[in-house]
Chains A and B, each alone.
Chain A
Amino acid sequence: MSVFIIRRLLQSLGVIFVMSMIVFFGVNVVGNPVDILASDDMTQEQIQAFVARLGLDRPIYEQYWYFVLNALRGDLGNSFVFAEPALKLILQRLPATLELALASMFLSVVIGIPLGIYAGLRPEARSSKVIMASSILGFSLPTFWVGLMFIMVFAVMLGWLPSTGRGDTTELLGIQVSFLTWDGLQHLLLPAINLALFKMSLVIRLARAGTREVALQDYVKFARAKGLSARRVVLVHIMKNIMIPVVTVLGLELGGVIAFSVVTETVFAWPGIGKLLIDSIQLLDRPVVVAYLIITVLMFILINLVVDILYSVLDPRVRLKDVKS
């Protein structure tokens, strides 16, 4: 397995290299940041000095070369707008997004799996039909609209929960987190549920389909014939078998949520990286966009690796090996 992991990490380096090239050249095609960043009262000389300071007067391949050299030293360039390292900007915002993503993931698993198993065990029950119908809503209602409705109902009309920001944060292992304070938790709740709805629906449907299939298997009947309690049959024999598709989808979704929770972050003014990305694109802050995308790729690679390792934990028939072409 360690060979598998090392090989995977080496492959990832290749992916990151190719990715960085595409992104770097890609963002250079879009617009001219000087037009946006230079103020109107600058003289031509001042503008030229500004361009030279940003390194934009060099040919593009030379810019890329310096970018790679710096990147190898852990420097992904300075933001045009904030004049701070792009990486630092992203890492400052990342905990907020990670917290939101993990909270929504947690909600979708903790609520979605039991509901899905329940609906799978009693497909004919009225309550199961209600669950399944709600999951269709969870799928199809647009996130931004649900977010706005949440704010309207729970923040404006009922006044139960705050609508924007992170609230009080505390430091946990050097990272600012919201969920440890009551105020932070209140701030976290609405955006987390908003972000969780889609995934929760997905988990419900996967868990239900898996349960319906597994419940008919001989080994479930055999487990019952052994005289095991219904609780053990469901929680051990059925649940362990339905986790594989759930983990696959959640892994992909987690990457997606971290990278693209833009909508929810915008609606709830959550200070995460999604909002940073949108701002940076609008201001043509190239280094931040490039750094953001490279970090995103890294994250996807890491999550996929973890999912692969989880497979072998969940299903003993999966053994991680190198596939030789």
Chain B
Amino acid sequence: MNAGKQPTLEVEDLRTHFFTKAGVVKAVDGVSFAVGQGEVLGLVGESGSGKSVTGFSILGLVDPPGRVVGGRILFKGEDLVPLGEDRMRALRGSRIAMIFQDPMMTLNPVLRVDTQMIEAILAHRKVSKAAAYDRARETLMRVGIASPDERLRSYPHQFSGGMRQRVAIAIALLNEPDLIIADEPTTALDVTIQAQILYEAQKLCRETGTALIWITHDLTVVAGLADRICVMYAGRDVEQGTVDQVLDHPLHPYTHGLIGSVPSRNRRGARLQQIPGMTPSLLNLAPGCAFRSRCPRATDRCEAEPTVTMRGDGRRVRCFNPVDADVSA
């Protein structure tokens, strides 16, 4: 992040809870991070750790029974949490765009691609339909789609998965947003297409200065793409730092376990480590560190809620017994 400059997005202690009949599900329960211009933040965690809900909270798209109950979401200094629906709608798709996980499901099957692209422009700008069409055409070319005119006249089912995700990315880019939230956009794609899309996403951020939040469960994806990493576990951010810091010297035992479970060329033949146990249910989660039942370094202290420790090198960790400290401490 460029020091001194205001970050594009600053999330402070975000809490999004779902009030279900069975009880309160604290899907996001204390997450803070920031992402600056042209920067890529990797939001990493396993399924159910609250990554996607964090993304939807930023866009104000959390549906009942869910609700943002605490924290601040500062977009260029303006808090989005108390913002009304009209103002939020004006930001959505215009200043903040989102790309979804499953490209097969994100485009409306009964509307032509041109309809779906042009409406995204016309929702935010007073331009003619022809100008919007030209803009759509140009953006499709930018994401590497050949013969855009023909593609614009097609329906989504005539596209492959990778092509549909390119269209979704093009839609996100239409209004040149300041922030793009990408929710596991490459998970459903095969590895070659994944690599192309990652490369292009990175290039776009560098060129346009768009801030990018890349939500994923795949550490290898963020390793090549992100500048900074925020690791989430059970609705909380447990560790943050630059890619090199976090991946080379993880501080939180969870991050440590995650990295140990990724196959690597250096440890050929050795058994992969696994994290014992299961992700806890977020329904009526017991107080204290949510990871302690699976943690090899857990002590009695972990029954209390660990607070975030700021390290001198800009790293943050939410743990009483980080990996580089003595267990006896």
Q: Are B92 and A226 in contact (CB under 8 A)?
A: yes
Q: Are A237 and B108 in contact (CB under 8 A)?
A: yes
Q: Are A228 and B109 in contact (CB under 8 A)?
A: no
**Interface assignment of B262: CB less than 8 Å from any CB of chain A:** no
Q: Report Cα–Cα, A237/B120, bound state, in Å.
A: 13
**Interface assignment of A304: CB less than 8 Å from any CB of chain B:** no
Q: Are A314 and B92 in contact (CB under 8 A)?
A: no
Give the residues from 107 to 141 in chain B that come closer than 8 angstroms, CB to CB, to chain A: 107-112, 116, 119-120, 123-124
Q: Are B123 and A317 in contact (CB under 8 A)?
A: no
Nearest A residue to B90 via CB reads: A227
Give the residues from 214 to 251 in chain A that come closer than 8 angstroms, CB to CB, to chain B: 217-229, 232, 236-237, 240-241
Q: Report Cα–Cα, A217/B98, bound state, in Å.
A: 15
Give the residues from 54 to 82 in chain A that come closer than 8 angstroms, CB to CB, to chain B: none
Cross-chain contact of B100 among A222, A228, A229, A314 (Cβ < 8 A): A222
B206–chain A nearest beta-carbon distance, Å:
24
B21–chain A nearest beta-carbon distance, Å:
12
Nearest A residue to B171 via CB reads: A226
Q: Are A225 and B97 in contact (CB under 8 A)?
A: yes
* A317-B157 contact given A227-B92, A227-B93, CB 8 Å threshold: yes
Q: Report Cα–Cα, A172/B162, bound state, in Å.
A: 55
On chain A, the residues within 8 Å of B230 by CB distance are none
A239–chain B nearest beta-carbon distance, Å:
10
On chain B, the residues within 8 Å of A241 by CB distance are 108-110
On chain B, the residues within 8 Å of A226 by CB distance are 92-93, 97, 119-120, 123, 171
Q: Are B92 and A315 in contact (CB under 8 A)?
A: no
**Interface assignment of A31: CB less than 8 Å from any CB of chain B:** no
On chain A, the residues within 8 Å of B112 by CB distance are 316
On chain B, the residues within 8 Å of A222 by CB distance are 98, 100, 106-107, 168
On chain B, the residues within 8 Å of A315 by CB distance are 109-110
A251–chain B nearest beta-carbon distance, Å:
18
On chain B, the residues within 8 Å of A240 by CB distance are 108, 110-111
Q: Are A317 and B61 in contact (CB under 8 A)?
A: no
**Interface assignment of B49: CB less than 8 Å from any CB of chain A:** no
**Interface assignment of B155: CB less than 8 Å from any CB of chain A:** yes
Cross-chain contact of A229 among B89, B102, B168 (Cβ < 8 A): B89
* A218-B110 contact given A225-B59, A227-B123, CB 8 Å threshold: no
Q: Report Cα–Cα, A241/B105, bound state, in Å.
A: 13
- Kindly name the residue among B101, B119, B124, B157 whose own CB sees the greatest number of chain A CB atoms within 10 A: B119
B307–chain A nearest beta-carbon distance, Å:
34
**Interface assignment of B91: CB less than 8 Å from any CB of chain A:** yes
Q: Report Cα–Cα, A317/B90, bound state, in Å.
A: 32
A226–chain B nearest beta-carbon distance, Å:
4
On chain B, the residues within 8 Å of A232 by CB distance are 119, 123
**Interface assignment of B94: CB less than 8 Å from any CB of chain A:** yes
What bracket does the count of chain B residues touching chain A fall in?
20 to 34
Q: Are B111 and A225 in contact (CB under 8 A)?
A: no
Nearest A residue to B119 via CB reads: A228
On chain A, the residues within 8 Å of B102 by CB distance are 218
Q: Report Cα–Cα, A222/B97, bound state, in Å.
A: 10
Q: Are A217 and B111 in contact (CB under 8 A)?
A: no
Give the residues from 289 to 325 in chain A that come closer than 8 angstroms, CB to CB, to chain B: 314-317
* A219-B123 contact given A224-B61, A227-B94, CB 8 Å threshold: no
Nearest A residue to B109 via CB reads: A317
On chain B, the residues within 8 Å of A220 by CB distance are 108
Q: Report Cα–Cα, A236/B123, bound state, in Å.
A: 14
A120–chain B nearest beta-carbon distance, Å:
14
* A219-B119 contact given A224-B61, A225-B59, A225-B98, CB 8 Å threshold: no
On chain B, the residues within 8 Å of A316 by CB distance are 109-110, 112, 155, 157
A39–chain B nearest beta-carbon distance, Å:
64
Q: Report Cα–Cα, A164/B261, bound state, in Å.
A: 81
Cross-chain contact of A225 among B61, B107, B110, B124 (Cβ < 8 A): B61
Q: Are B111 and A224 in contact (CB under 8 A)?
A: no
Q: Are B111 and A236 in contact (CB under 8 A)?
A: yes
B208–chain A nearest beta-carbon distance, Å:
19
On chain B, the residues within 8 Å of A317 by CB distance are 109, 155, 157
Nearest B residue to A236 via CB reads: B111
Nearest B residue to A228 via CB reads: B123
On chain B, the residues within 8 Å of A227 by CB distance are 89-94, 120, 123-124
Q: Report Cα–Cα, A55/B273, bound state, in Å.
A: 95
On chain A, the residues within 8 Å of B155 by CB distance are 316-317
Give the residues from 113 to 154 in chain A that come closer than 8 angstroms, CB to CB, to chain B: none
Q: Are A237 and B61 in contact (CB under 8 A)?
A: no
Q: Are A218 and B105 in contact (CB under 8 A)?
A: yes
A317–chain B nearest beta-carbon distance, Å:
5
On chain B, the residues within 8 Å of A223 by CB distance are 108, 116
Nearest B residue to A223 via CB reads: B108
Give the residues from 77 to 95 in chain B that come closer than 8 angstroms, CB to CB, to chain A: 89-94
- The contact sample of 24 A-B pairs, CB cut-off 8 A, is A219-B105, A219-B106, A219-B107, A219-B108, A222-B100, A222-B107, A223-B108, A224-B61, A225-B59, A225-B61, A225-B92, A225-B98, A226-B120, A227-B89, A227-B120, A228-B93, A228-B119, A229-B89, A240-B108, A240-B111, A241-B110, A315-B109, A315-B110, A316-B110
Shortest 6 CB-CB contacts between residues of A and residues of B: A227-B93, A218-B105, A226-B93, A227-B92, A316-B155, A226-B120
- Give A residues with C-beta under 8 Å from B: 217-229, 232, 236-237, 240-241, 314-317
Known: A237-B108, A241-B109. 6 other contacts (CB 8 A): A219-B105, A225-B92, A227-B92, A227-B120, A240-B108, A317-B109
